[in-house]
Structures are given as C-alpha cells and as structure tokens.
Amino acid sequence: MTIAATEPLVDVRADFPILEREIGGKRLVYLDSASTSQKPTQMIEAVDSHFRRTNANIHRGVYALAQEATDLFEGARQRIASFVGDSYQTTIFTKNATEAINLVAYSWGGANVGPGDEVLITQMEHHSNIVPWQLLCRRTGATLRYLSVSETGELSLAELDAVLAEGRVKLVGVTHVSNVLGTINPVAEIAARARAAGAVTLVDGSQAVPQMAVDLSELGADFYAWTGHKALGPTGIGILHGRRELLEAMPPFLSGGDMIASVSFEGSTWNELPFKFEAGTSPVAEGIGLGAAIDYLDTIGMDRIRAHETDLTAYALERVIEVDGLRVFGPLDPERRGGVVSFAIDGIHPHDVAELCDREAVCVRAGHHCAQPLMRRMDVPATARASFHVYNAREDVDRLVDALRGAREVFGL
C-alpha cells in the first residue's frame, strides 16, 4: 500500500535545533517523545535569558531583581494553570509527575485511606501510578485493585461501576492517555462515576497535556498530575492540580522553607495554597521554561497539534503493518489513541529492533515502558514503541518503516 505524502499539517521543525543533528551521517529521526519531548528554541531561550538576566531567588528578595524573577515564575504558573483550565492557587509545582502522585498518595492517602478501604487503579498504569499506591496500601492496610484492560487496550466502565458499587473504593487512579497503548481513557466519565460513589479520582495526564487540549474545569477529576519535560519544557518540573477543598484539608507532604506561614520552636503553621506543598527553593528556571513551552504550544494551538498527531498516528498505523510479522498493540482507531504506536516483530526482540533502528538514526524506545503489569497483561515481555510530537512528519514514519525492514534483513527474516 502506498499513501501519498501530504504536506505536514504543522511544520515547526525549524524551531527545534536538535533536529538539525545527524547521527552516523544520517538525519536524526526522533520518535521517543512519549519518553521526553524535544525542546523549541523559544523555551531554551527563556531559560537562558532567565539565567543571564533575571536570576535571583524568588518570593523573599526585596530587591527589584528578585521581584522580576518572582513575577516570571508566578506568571508562568498563572499561564500554565489557564492552559489546562485550572486556577493559580490549585496549580502546584513538583519535581515531576511521579512526585505529584506521591504527594497525593502520602498526604491525601495517609489522611483518608485505612484498613478495609480500596484504591482502584488500572492495568495500563505507568509504574509512577502503581508503586505509590502499593506503598500506601502497605502502610495503611488498604487493598489495591486493578481495572482490567481489554484485548483492544481499553477499560470497561461496566467493570468500574461494579467495583465502585461494592462501596470500598476511596480513590480511583487512571492514566488519561496510555504511554504504551496510546488509549485515550474516558477520564471525565470515570471521575463522575467515582465521585457519585464517594471516591476521589487522580488522573495521570503526563501523556495527555502535551498533545491534546485538556480542560480540567470540564474533566472533573479531583487530582490531575503531569510533567513538564514531555510538554516541550525542561526536566525537573511537574504539576499537580487539585480540588481546593481537598488541598486545603490535606497535611503538607515535603516540609521546610517556603511552605510555612510561621515557624517557632514549638511548631509551625502552613503557607497558603499553592505554596503549602512547595517546600524549599522552587524550580525557578524550570517553571519559567515550562511557561515558555506552554506559550509555544498555545501559539500553535492544541487542536492543531492533536490533528497533526492523529494524522501521523493514522499514517504510522497504516505503514508499520506493511512490515512482515509486525503486530501493533492498542486501539486501531487513531481517533481513540494518542501519538504512540507500540509494536512487536516476530523473531526480533524489541531491544534488537531499537538497536537496529538506531543504526539508521531512528530513535525508538524498547522495553517495558515502565508498565510491567501491562506487559504481562498483553503477554509480551516488551515492545518497541514509536511516539510522535508536533515536530515529526510523515517522512519520519517512512524512515522508521525502512529501518524495520532493514532489521528483518539483518536477522535473516
């Protein structure tokens, strides 16, 4: 089958300096954005400019430079909050999405989950949305349960209803978009059903915010965690959005400077939101950088980015199955999945697939993608995974397909 290559819906490759690189004399084809995204010049320059012109510690300095840095950082927080339809006070900066989930597991979980209670997550979660709940359940005597994943890589709302009806679930944790299957989960539906059953919901939005419009005011989740580095921003910054009443009632997670209102020898009182959950010096440059990344995404428009990713995913789903012995995991309808395609090739382990793709300067991920329980559910030890962002084009998919064919040749298949 041949598909006529069309003009890319969005062509912003010139904004990403790393894409000018060659590896082994071949143009770099980066297909691992689900792991971390590449960075636009606009974001890099915002961080560079901060260190060159406005660097000072924030929140405390009386001098003008410190105020400039504070304004840049808190301005970024305001724009990041608006970008996903949340408010400034309930947008908390963390180190990454993992820390955001841990914050909820320790602070909310420690105060609200006990023996006999249940935490309900799904078989398609990233380890970051499994292990904190395993540890919470071990600490509190609660039970961790998993919603199953169907053959097509989807969750069942009927199964959710059945588990919720048993009346023991205190929290439902679910990924918005699977980092392996690409499945877009019906998180608004899930949050509504959980709330009706008296449970709170935590959604892991790490794969969703970078590639589709997310409006938390419509979504209705109690907690929503994501990370900056997958959304064209720097590493070292994640975000937790939470419902205000819950955040106000929760005890602090990490403690130290900046999160206090006052400290005496006898005890301390807590700062207001969002600072109550931000102990120590903040990731200032990272926040400013993420603000610039969000501005960049906003300028292109998340609906255009989503259309671009859907086009690439549809093209990839059609093209990779041209490779003999290749099988794709997850929903086959590109409208129901994000920009990620996991696959396996008979007779070649995914590690070897990734190694041979690398010879062609095509970067794909191989392994369990931090989702070992899901690998077991799919009955595969590992998969290879290609994932896309706004800077990819159909010709990148063509390069992948050529590399996969070459891998089969090396293996004498």
Partner 1 sequence: MDELYRDNILDHYKNPRNFGTLEAHDLDWHDHNPLCGDELGVHVVVEEGKVAELRFHGQGCAISQAAASIASEELIGKRLEELPELSADWLIDLLGIDISPTRRKCALLSLKVMRGASTGDASWPE
The answer to whether residue 372 forms part of the interface with partner 1 (CB under 8 A) is yes
The answer to whether residue 53 forms part of the interface with partner 1 (CB under 8 A) is no
Q: Which residues contact 106 (CB under 8 A, 6 or more apart)?
A: 132, 136, 253
Residue 81 or residue 356: which is nearer to partner 1 going by CB?
A: 356
CA 23, 29, 33, 37 torsion-angle sign: positive
Contact 129, 101 (CB under 8 A): yes
The answer to whether residue 375 forms part of the interface with partner 1 (CB under 8 A) is yes
Single out the segment in contact with partner 1 by CB under 8 A; choices: 214-222, 266-274, 316-324, 346-354: 346-354
Single out the segment in contact with partner 1 by CB under 8 A; choices: 26-34, 323-331, 361-369, 391-399: 361-369
The answer to whether residue 327 forms part of the interface with partner 1 (CB under 8 A) is no
Burial of 315 (0-12, 13-18, 19+ CB in 10 A): buried
Token couple for 221: 């989740």
With CB under 8 A as the contact rule, the residue among 85, 186, 367, 373 that binds partner 1 is: 367
With CB under 8 A as the contact rule, the residue among 320, 328, 357, 366 that binds partner 1 is: 366
Contact 209, 188 (CB under 8 A): no
SS3 assignment, position 227:
strand
| Closest separation in Å from C-beta 348 to partner 1 | 8
| Closest separation in Å from C-beta 368 to partner 1 | 4
With CB under 8 A as the contact rule, the residue among 144, 349, 373, 405 that binds partner 1 is: 349
Token couple for 157: 């709302």
Contact 343, 384 (CB under 8 A): yes
Single out the segment in contact with partner 1 by CB under 8 A; choices: 35-43, 83-91, 146-154, 345-353: 345-353
The distance of Cα 218 from the centroid of its chain, to the nearest Å, equals 19
Query: How far, in Å, CA of 225 to CA of 240, rounded?
Result: 5
Residue 153 or residue 350: which is nearer to partner 1 going by CB?
A: 350
Contact 347, 413 (CB under 8 A): yes
Residue 336 or residue 359: which is nearer to partner 1 going by CB?
A: 359
Query: How far, in Å, CA of 342 to CA of 179, rounded?
Result: 9
With CB under 8 A as the contact rule, the residue among 348, 361, 384, 400 that binds partner 1 is: 348
Residue 355 or residue 402: which is nearer to partner 1 going by CB?
A: 355
With CB under 8 A as the contact rule, the residue among 208, 214, 273, 382 that binds partner 1 is: 382
Contact 342, 181 (CB under 8 A): yes
With CB under 8 A as the contact rule, the residue among 355, 373, 398, 402 that binds partner 1 is: 355
| Closest separation in Å from C-beta 411 to partner 1 | 6
Distance between start and end Cα atoms, the chain: 21
Specify whether 363 is catalytic.
no
The answer to whether residue 412 forms part of the interface with partner 1 (CB under 8 A) is yes
With CB under 8 A as the contact rule, the residue among 295, 318, 352, 402 that binds partner 1 is: 352
| Closest separation in Å from C-beta 345 to partner 1 | 12
| Closest separation in Å from C-beta 350 to partner 1 | 8
225 phi, psi to nearest 5 deg: -115, 140
| Closest separation in Å from C-beta 360 to partner 1 | 12
Query: How far, in Å, CA of 224 to CA of 232, rounded?
Result: 19
Pairing state of beta strands 340-345 and 326-329?
antiparallel
Residue 323 or residue 382: which is nearer to partner 1 going by CB?
A: 382
The answer to whether residue 350 forms part of the interface with partner 1 (CB under 8 A) is yes
The answer to whether residue 410 forms part of the interface with partner 1 (CB under 8 A) is yes
Single out the segment in contact with partner 1 by CB under 8 A; choices: 62-70, 93-101, 295-303, 404-412: 404-412
Residue 57 sits at the vertex; the CA angle it makes with 51 and 59, to the nearest 5 degrees, is 135
The answer to whether residue 88 forms part of the interface with partner 1 (CB under 8 A) is no
With CB under 8 A as the contact rule, the residue among 368, 373, 398, 405 that binds partner 1 is: 368
- Peptide bond before residue 274 is cis, with ω within 30 degrees of 0: yes
Pairing state of beta strands 223-227 and 200-204?
parallel
| Closest separation in Å from C-beta 113 to partner 1 | 29
Token couple for 19: 């894409």
Task: Specify the DSSP class assigned to residue 275.
Answer: G
Q: Which residues are catalytic?
A: 370
Which residues would be at the binding site for partner 1 (CB under 8 A)? 348-352, 355-356, 366-368, 372, 375, 381-382, 410-412
